[in-house]
Structure 1
């Protein structure tokens, strides 16, 4: 049995995976959506980027999961990529869903214009959630947008600005990278170079940056297929 650990990106918690998790469970998989510290029902828990890495590793180890597929969406690709190194032979595959990938010594904001984000985090220490207008053009219905906006919580700023810590080469890990084409044609940052590795595969989805809402069944299908990759 494959054990999926699903980690959503900025502002979101485990709830964001409800529809995808249901599809995967109906296909016979064990599924563990994870809320990172400081978000959703874990608001108020202090968190930096390494806190989020530990959240993932400790969840896998506490549940004694094997044959693990780690799934990281958007920002969560950064802690998921680091956690993938640390769970060793428990790992079967990593799936990055339109995600940032970690670069040793660099923050999640490295490699893209981030002045606005840093200014938004400011003295509060939190990255404020987006408004409904920010989700227009991403293949989402009004109802889906309303669900995302109402469920979003401020994101701990340190998790975006602290540096990643990697011991090895992510190109050596078995990876599926899902690119959501309404959010741009090319993978973000370091992912473009890593996709040259023979161990990385690229899968495109004709939807926006939040496919767990816009196309949950199709995303679940791709995740299911990724679990059978060598």
Structure 2
């Protein structure tokens, strides 16, 4: 039996795996769905000091204190910038890494820059402001996603989209503007990237291919883990 550690995206939390996790556990596998500091049920901890390095420590500590070995480490969306640092911290506890429509950031890049939200100079300026204890704590990603869904609904039932949007929380702005502690290039070529057709992450798909990663294409949108988790679960089960 395999052990999966599922890492969520921006504005989300461990709750977002509600529909995918049972598809793995029913097959007899062990699944962990941690929530990053400042997200979801830990949203009361949001602060200007939280970066992707904090979240890499969150996951590395889960691996350490749960005595996890030979796990399949899975990252959706924002988690793409976290997983390389987790691998760097706990290399012997990870057997395989899977990205699900996730950000591919190189060393020294801020996540917001990697995905094209802002130029490097703007990210550096915001990071300096936050370091002085000034500026907004959150990025507003939860409200942005709710507004976008009004004109561009997710590929899922209205009921499931309502559930998804209701559970979103803000994320620390510092996560987007501070450089990542480890770049995706440090992972080598043994990475599977699950790319969906309807997404703003297409430039990330090309970055994954340029790194020599195995890119697998799926019909769906960025919230496929909620809207249509079956094909993703089947792929993950195939790695067990």
Q: What TM-score, normalized by structure 2, do the two folds share?
A: 0.84
How far 1:49 moved relative to its partner? 1.6
**Map of 1:125 onto structure 2:** 137
Map 1:58-137 onto structure 2 (within 5 A).
58-115=61-118, 123-128=135-140, 129=142, 130-135=144-149, 136-137=152-153
How far 1:186 moved relative to its partner? 3.2
Distance 1:35 1:107 in 2: 21
Q: For the Cα contact (< 8 Å) 1:6–1:32, is it kept in 2? A: yes
Map 1:148-163 onto structure 2 (within 5 A).
148-163=164-179
CA-based RMSD of the aligned residues comes to 2.5
The structure-2 alpha-carbon separation of the partners of 1:90 and 1:125, relative to structure 1 and needing over 3 Å to count, comes to same
The structure-2 alpha-carbon separation of the partners of 1:133 and 1:157, relative to structure 1 and needing over 3 Å to count, comes to closer
Distance 1:32 1:69 in 2: 10
Alignment deviations for residues 57-81 of structure 1 (CA, whole Å, 9 cap, x no partner): 0001111101111111111111122
The structure-2 alpha-carbon separation of the partners of 1:152 and 1:185, relative to structure 1 and needing over 3 Å to count, comes to closer
Q: For the Cα contact (< 8 Å) 1:82–1:102, is it kept in 2? A: no
How far 1:165 moved relative to its partner? 1.8
The structure-2 alpha-carbon separation of the partners of 1:185 and 1:80, relative to structure 1 and needing over 3 Å to count, comes to closer
Distance 2:232 2:203 in 1: 17
Q: Which moved more, 1:5-14 or 1:85-94?
A: 85-94
1:141 aligns with 2:157: yes
Structure 2 residue ranges without an equivalent (≥5): none
Distance 1:186 1:131 in 2: 18
How far 1:187 moved relative to its partner? 4.6
Distance 2:187 2:54 in 1: 24
**Map of 1:212 onto structure 2:** 225
Q: Which moved more, 1:16-25 or 1:125-134?
A: 125-134
Q: What SS does structure 1 have at the residue aligned with 2:182?
A: coil
1:17 aligns with 2:5: no
Structure 1 residue ranges without an equivalent (≥5): none
The structure-2 alpha-carbon separation of the partners of 1:131 and 1:77, relative to structure 1 and needing over 3 Å to count, comes to closer
Distance 1:84 1:192 in 2: 22
Q: For the Cα contact (< 8 Å) 2:81–2:184, is it kept in 1? A: no
The structure-2 alpha-carbon separation of the partners of 1:167 and 1:180, relative to structure 1 and needing over 3 Å to count, comes to closer
Distance 1:89 1:167 in 2: 18
Distance 2:91 2:209 in 1: 21
Q: Which moved more, 1:216-225 or 1:130-139?
A: 130-139
Distance 1:81 1:16 in 2: 22
**Map of 2:27 onto structure 1:** 27
Alignment deviations for residues 8-45 of structure 1 (CA, whole Å, 9 cap, x no partner): 11110100001111000011211001100001111122
**Map of 1:181 onto structure 2:** 197
1:41 aligns with 2:55: no
Q: For the Cα contact (< 8 Å) 1:79–1:102, is it kept in 2? A: no
Alignment deviations for residues 134-158 of structure 1 (CA, whole Å, 9 cap, x no partner): 2324312211221111101111111
